[in-house]
Structure 1
Amino acid sequence: MVQKAERLGGRAPGRPVGNITRGTTSPNRMRRVDRWLAGPQAWRLRTEEHPLAVDLGYGASPTTAVEMFARLRAVCPDLELVGLEIEPERVARGQALDVEGLSFRLGGFELALPRPPVAVRAFNVLRQYEEADVPAIWDTMRARLAPQGLIAEGTCDEVGRRAAWVGVDRAGPATLTVALRFGSFALPSEVAERLPKALIHRNVPGERVHDFLRAADAAWLAAAPLASFGNRQRWIAMCRTLKGAGWPVRDGVRRWRLGELTVGWACVAPRSGGLAL
């Protein structure tokens, strides 16, 4: 049973930090964020001997944690992954799948682990919180990161076709990534309903993320003549247009062709509140 969400500071002493999520998940749901962690962020995994990764709040089934382990191990064979949940029954189900390098434990945002993690995936876990809680939650997690560690905190739809996440390092939020399956959208701004908690209520006129999504839509529509060559070429053209217009677009064609777009946090950060720049 999912408990009523409480504020971050309302927990009892000794209890993991966080609230129980609905726990719904499905195989391959997290493939887009895993592909990003195993791609442009893979260098972080190689900065530590026996690096530790965390799947935080993996839900009622450990399936996506097992998938994350396999994907990250493919680029870092000595990586260890820990799945953390605050619901004991979910932890017990995960522990039935423990193997060398993969384990499941009781825990929450405090990331109480033997050593600092290099990668933390926290997906679909902040949706039940207030936007005002986000800075404290990010701070709690990033205080536990390894020197080159990164948190991928975001949201995706039920089958993983639309996803968006913030890359948070030890200094704070650094990037926003949106990743969409070609053919699943008419306009890039349709990802708005999957924006992370820090941004989902900010997609309104006057906010930076609203401006960014409108610019992406305009660039996508302008690239419509390329649709005959496929949506991949159209997306690449959109990314090039945004970069040429001064948006801080990261990476290059190798990532764009996957339906992925990463920009610097400053261009989408809220204009007011604890997450403003």
Structure 2
Amino acid sequence: MGHRGSGPGRPSLIRAANVLRQYDEGEVAAVWRRLCARLAPDGLLVEGTCDEIGRRHVWVALGPEGPRTVTFATRLGSLERPSDLAERLPKALIHRNVPGEPVHAFLRDFDRAWAAASPYASLGARQRWIATARALAGEWPLTDGERRWRQGELTVRWDALRPSGP
């Protein structure tokens, strides 16, 4: 545990799905720091929440320096509106989905862009999601592109969704 080198035992990837749900929100940052301290220098911690059958998943990607991005992922045919993903927000964000918090504003804008892209629904949920992502990219710092959007994913910089208060 005290080993800090980049040799054996330092993982390149730690995936924690549905692990921090039972923690208090105030404990999340310390758990993130502890896990990230164990990563290889170029390692990644993926921490988030998914539903029981993997249709919906939201995760934070963290490097040794801390949070980098938040990814919203869904099986597109199962989505009524993007804010349905709110119930899968990671512990660090789930209680922050209230007016005045960045994640709430993002989900509001995500729903608006989805509604505006409704004409694309006749071409399929994938085309509607891509049109939604293109619209959001003009307002929010998305870090991915059409290749990931086609898979039902959308990633935004953590700094844009970082909780505003303690």
TM-score category (smaller protein) = over 0.9
- Greater RCO (Cα-Cα under 8 Å, separation 6 or more): 2
2:78 aligned counterpart, secondary structure: coil
Tell me the residue number matched to 1:189.
83
Normalised TM-score (structure 1): 0.57
1:182 positional shift = 1.2
Residues 81-123 of structure 1: CA distance to partner in whole angstroms, max 9, x if unpaired?
A: xxxxxxxxxxxxxxxxxxxxxxxxxxxxxxxxx5211111001
Tell me the residue number matched to 1:171.
65
More helix by share: 2
Normalised TM-score (structure 2): 0.94
Tell me the residue number matched to 1:55.
none
Tell me the residue number matched to 1:203.
97
Q: Are 1:270 and 2:131 matched, yes or no?
A: no
Tell me the residue number matched to 2:146.
253
Aligned-residue CA RMSD (Å): 1.2
Counterpart residue identity of residue 215, structure 1: D
Give the count of matched residue pairs. Answer: 161
Counterpart residue identity of residue 233, structure 1: Q
1:244 positional shift = 1.5
Counterpart residue identity of residue 248, structure 1: P
Following the alignment from structure 1 to structure 2, what is the Cα–Cα distance between the partners of residues 195 and 185?
Answer: 15
1:211 positional shift = 0.3
2:98 aligned counterpart, secondary structure: coil
* Gap runs ≥5 in structure 1: 1-47, 50-113
Q: Are 1:242 and 2:136 matched, yes or no?
A: yes
2:92 aligned counterpart, secondary structure: helix
Q: Which has the larger radius of gyration?
A: 1
1:248 aligned counterpart, secondary structure: coil
Counterpart residue identity of residue 244, structure 1: G
Tell me the residue number matched to 1:227.
121
1:185 positional shift = 1.9
Following the alignment from structure 1 to structure 2, what is the Cα–Cα distance between the partners of residues 264 and 182?
Answer: 22
* Gap runs ≥5 in structure 2: 1-5
Following the alignment from structure 1 to structure 2, what is the Cα–Cα distance between the partners of residues 251 and 166?
Answer: 14
Q: Are 1:128 and 2:15 matched, yes or no?
A: no
1:116 aligned counterpart, secondary structure: coil
Q: Are 1:161 and 2:55 matched, yes or no?
A: yes
Following the alignment from structure 1 to structure 2, what is the Cα–Cα distance between the partners of residues 181 and 125?
Answer: 22
Following the alignment from structure 1 to structure 2, what is the Cα–Cα distance between the partners of residues 231 and 129?
Answer: 35
1:206 aligned counterpart, secondary structure: coil
1:224 positional shift = 0.3
1:272 positional shift = 1.1
1:251 positional shift = 1.5
Tell me the residue number matched to 2:40.
146
Alignment of 1:97-116 (within 5 A): 114-116=8-10
Would you identify which runs of 4 or more consecutive aligned residues in structure 1 move more than 3 Å?
none
Residues 36-88 of structure 1: CA distance to partner in whole angstroms, max 9, x if unpaired?
A: xxxxxxxxxxxx99xxxxxxxxxxxxxxxxxxxxxxxxxxxxxxxxxxxxxxx
Tell me the residue number matched to 1:35.
none
Tell me the residue number matched to 1:84.
none
Alignment of 1:84-95 (within 5 A): none
Following the alignment from structure 2 to structure 1, what is the Cα–Cα distance between the partners of residues 98 and 78?
Answer: 23
